[in-house]
C-alpha cells in the first residue's frame, strides 16, 4: 500500500498543541507552526482501526496489558534493534518524560546530582530540577554539522553523579551515536557508579544509512547499568496515547523500578495505548519505511533550499528524526532578535534553541514532519524574512 504524506489535514481547532497553543505561546495565531514534535501526517490506518475495534466492544473498561502487546514489543525491538527482551523486562510507562521523572525519583534522592548534555531535550533538566535534584550540565561540542561528546569533559562532569540521562538518538541534534561512543559512555558510567537512563523514543526514526544502537546492547556493563525507555509514539504519530514502556534487564533495578511504579499505581495503561502499540509493531514496518523516506526527502530539500537561498543559515543534518536544528549564528543576531526574525518577519513558530540549554543560542529547531508544500511555504517565508 502506498501512503499519502502530501495530504493536508486541518488540525487547527482540534485542541492539538501544535496549532491551538500557538496564540498562548506567541501571543498571535498567524504563525505557521513548525515546533511541537509530532507530525502532520495522518496516523496510520491500522492504528486507528485497532482503536475502532476497541470502541466497538461498547464498554471502555479497565484493560490488561494484552499478550500481543508484550509479544509485538519483543518481536519489534528484536528485529529492528537487535535487542533480546523477555516479557518480564517490560513495564508500561504513561509517557517517556514521566518515565524519566519516575526513574529520577526511584533511583536518586533529593540533592543528588543528575547529568545531562545540552543542547538537549529540555524536560531532561526541568524534570530533574522540579524534583529537587542537582542538574550537572556537560555540554556537547557542535562542529562539522553535528553534535559530539567531549569525553574529557564528560569524564570530569560525571563525577559524583548518581544518574545520567542519555538522549539516544539525540534531540535536537539528530545524532545517531556510534557504537564506540556508547561503549565509552558505558565504561565511564560504570566506573563512576552512575546509572544510565536512555531515552530512545526516536530510535525508530533512524534514517536510511544509519543504525540505532540501543544502549543496553552495547556491552554487559551497559545492559546491567541502564534503564531504557522506548515508545511507538513518535514513529507512528500517536503521542496522545501515552504508550511508552521501560526495558530493564538488571533484576535488581527492574524490581526496584517496578515496585516504585506499582506502589503509586502508575504501571497500568489505557486500553487504546496497548492495542495501538501492538498494532503499530505488528503492521507498521512498511508505513514507517515510506514515512522515513519522505522525511529524508524533506531533510534533503531543506538542506538544498538553505544552500541555494539562505546560505547564512546552516543545519545540523539529522541522522534520526524529523527535527532539524538550524544553525543561524552567521546572522549575528542576539537570541531575542533571532526569535523575532522567525516570529515577526517570517511568521513561523519554531522552538527557540535556548530552550534546550544555553548551548542552543543561535539555533532554532524546525519540524519537517509535514507535507512538502507546507515545508516549502515555511522556507519561502524564512527566505523573505532574512532578505
In a domain, 52, yes or no: no
**C-alpha triplet 299, 170, 2: angle, nearest 5°:** 40
**C-alpha triplet 39, 376, 8: angle, nearest 5°:** 45
- In DSSP notation, 282-344 reads HH-HHHHHHHHHHHHHHHHHHHHHHHHH-TT-EEE--SBSSEEEEE-GGG---HHHHHHIIII
| 23 to 62, 342, 349, 351, 370: CA distances (angstroms) | 37, 15, 10, 14, 20
In a domain, 272, yes or no: yes
Q: List the grid coordinates of 349.
A: 513558530
197/92 Cα distance (integer angstroms): 16
Residue 266 is predicted with a pLDDT of 87
Domain shared by 265 and 332, yes or no: no
DSSP letter, residue 241 = G
Question: 41, 76, 75, 48: which is closest to 292 by C-alpha?
Answer: 41
Domain shared by 230 and 208, yes or no: yes
Query: Can you give the pLDDT of all 387 residues of the chain as single tens digits?
Result: 899 999 999 999 999 999 999 999 999 999 999 999 999 999 999 999 999 999 999 999 988 899 999 999 999 999 999 999 999 999 999 999 999 999 999 999 999 999 999 999 999 999 999 999 999 999 999 999 999 999 999 999 999 999 999 999 999 999 999 999 999 999 999 999 999 999 999 999 999 999 999 999 999 999 999 999 999 999 999 999 999 999 999 999 999 999 999 998 888 888 999 999 999 999 999 999 999 999 999 999 999 999 999 999 999 999 999 999 999 999 999 999 999 999 999 999 999 999 999 999 999 999 999 999 999 999 999 999 998
Domain hosting 69: range is: 61-282
- Quick one: CA dihedral 93, 197, 108, 191, positive or negative? positive
> In this structure, are strands 348-349 and 32-33 parallel, antiparallel, or unpaired?
parallel
Burial 250-282 (b: 16+ CB within 10 A, else e): beebbeebbebbeeeebbebbbbbbbbbbbbbe
Residue 82 is predicted with a pLDDT of 97
Question: 211, 151, 218, 156: which is closest to 183 by C-alpha?
Answer: 218
Other Cβ atoms less than 10 A from the Cβ of 336: the count is 10
215/60 Cα distance (integer angstroms): 37
What does the chain come to in residues?
Answer: 387
121/168 Cα distance (integer angstroms): 11
In a domain, 215, yes or no: yes
Q: Which CATH number is 180's domain given?
A: 3.40.640.10
Residue 292 is predicted with a pLDDT of 98
Domain shared by 275 and 289, yes or no: no
In a domain, 345, yes or no: yes
Domain boundary among 256, 282, 308: 282
Domain boundary among 282, 297, 330: 282
Domain shared by 164 and 177, yes or no: yes
Residue 267 is predicted with a pLDDT of 84
Domain shared by 239 and 306, yes or no: no
Residue 73, CB-side half-sphere exposure with 13 Å CA sphere? 27
281/96 Cα distance (integer angstroms): 18
Q: How many domains does the chain have?
A: 2
Domain shared by 307 and 376, yes or no: yes
In a domain, 291, yes or no: yes
Residue 265 is predicted with a pLDDT of 84
Spell out the residues 6+ positions from residue 336 whose beta carbon is closer than 8 angstroms to its own: none
Domain shared by 23 and 112, yes or no: no
In a domain, 293, yes or no: yes
- In DSSP notation, 157-226 reads HTTTEEEEEEESS-TTT-----HHHHHHHHHHHHHHT-EEEEE-TTGGGBPTT-----GGGS-HHHHHTE
Domain shared by 278 and 289, yes or no: no
pLDDT in tens, 245-276: 999 999 999 999 999 999 988 888 889 999 99
Other Cβ atoms less than 10 A from the Cβ of 180: the count is 10
In a domain, 40, yes or no: yes
Tell me the three state secondary structure of residue 378: helix
**pTM of the full predicted structure?**
0.97
Domain shared by 293 and 165, yes or no: no
Q: List the grid coordinates of 228.
A: 531504557
In a domain, 53, yes or no: no
Domain shared by 371 and 226, yes or no: no
Domain boundary among 230, 256, 282: 282
Residue 373 is predicted with a pLDDT of 98
Domain shared by 274 and 290, yes or no: no
Domain shared by 299 and 263, yes or no: no
Q: Which CATH number is 337's domain given?
A: 3.90.1150.10
Amino acid at each position: 500500500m502506498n501512503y499519502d504524506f502530501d495530504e493536508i489535514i486541518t488540525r487547527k481547532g482540534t485542541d492539538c498543541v501544535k496549532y491551538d497553543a500557538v496564540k498562548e505561546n506567541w501571543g498571535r495565531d498567524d504563525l505557521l507552526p513548525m515546533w511541537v514534535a509530532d507530525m502532520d501526517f495522518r496516523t496510520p490506518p491500522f492504528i486507528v482501526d485497532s482503536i475502532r475495534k476497541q470502541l466497538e466492544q461498547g464498554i471502555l473498561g479497565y484493560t490488561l496489558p494484552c499478550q500481543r502487546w508484550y509479544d509485538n514489543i519483543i518481536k519489534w525491538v528484536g528485529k529492528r534493534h537487535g535487542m533480546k527482551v523477555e516479557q518480564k523486562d517490560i513495564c508500561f510507562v504513561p509517557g517517556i518524560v514521566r518515565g524519566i521523572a519516575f526513574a529520577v525519583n526511584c533511583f536518586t534522592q533529593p540533592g543528588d546530582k543528575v547529568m545531562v548534555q545540552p543542547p538537549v531535550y529540555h524536560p531532561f533538566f526541568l524534570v530533574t530540577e522540579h524534583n529537587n535534584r542537582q542538574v550537572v550540565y556537560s555540554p556537547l561540542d557542535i562542529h562539522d554539522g553535528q553534535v559530539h561528546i567531549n569525553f574529557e569533559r564528560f569524564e570530569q562532569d560525571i563525577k559524583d553523579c548518581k544518574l545520567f540521562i542519555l538522549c539516544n538518538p539525540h534531540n535536537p541534534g539528530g545524532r545517531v551515536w556510534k557504537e564506540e561512543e556508547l561503549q565509552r559512555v558505558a565504561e565511564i558510567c560504570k566506573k563512576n557508579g552512575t546509572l544510565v537512563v536512555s531515552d530512545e523514543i526516536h530510535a525508530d526514526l533512524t534514517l536510511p544509512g544509519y543504525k540505532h544502537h540501543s544502549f543496553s546492547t552495547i556491552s554487559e556493563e551497559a545492559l546491567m547499568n541502564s534503564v531504557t525507555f522506548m515508545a511507538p509514539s513518535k514513529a507512528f504519530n500517536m503521542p496522545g496515547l501515552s504508550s511508552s514502556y521501560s526495558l530493564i534487564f538488571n533484576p535488581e533495578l527492574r524490581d526496584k523500578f517496578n515496585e516504585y511504579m506499582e506502589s503509586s499505581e502508575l504501571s497500568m495503561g489505557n486500553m487504546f495505548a496497548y492495542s495501538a502499540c501492538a498494532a503499530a509493531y505488528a503492521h507498521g514496518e512498511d508505513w514507517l519505511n515510506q514515512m522515513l523516506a519522505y522525511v529524508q526527502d524533506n531533510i534533503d530539500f531543506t538542506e538544498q533550499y538553505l544552500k541555494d537561498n539562505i546560505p547564512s543559515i546552516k543545519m545540523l543534518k539529522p541522522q534520526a528524526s524529523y527535527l532539524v536544528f538550524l544553525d543561524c549564528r552567521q546572522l549575528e543576531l542576539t537570541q531575542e532578535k533571532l526569535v523575532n526574525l522567525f516570529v515577526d518577519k517570517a511568521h513561523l513558530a519554531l522552538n527557540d534553541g535556548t530552550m534546550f540549554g544555553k548551548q542552543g543560542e543561535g539555533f532554532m529547531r524546525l519540524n519537517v514532519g509535514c507535507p512538502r508544500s507546507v515545508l516549502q511555504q515555511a522556507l519561502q517565508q524564512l527566505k523573505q524574512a532574512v532578505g
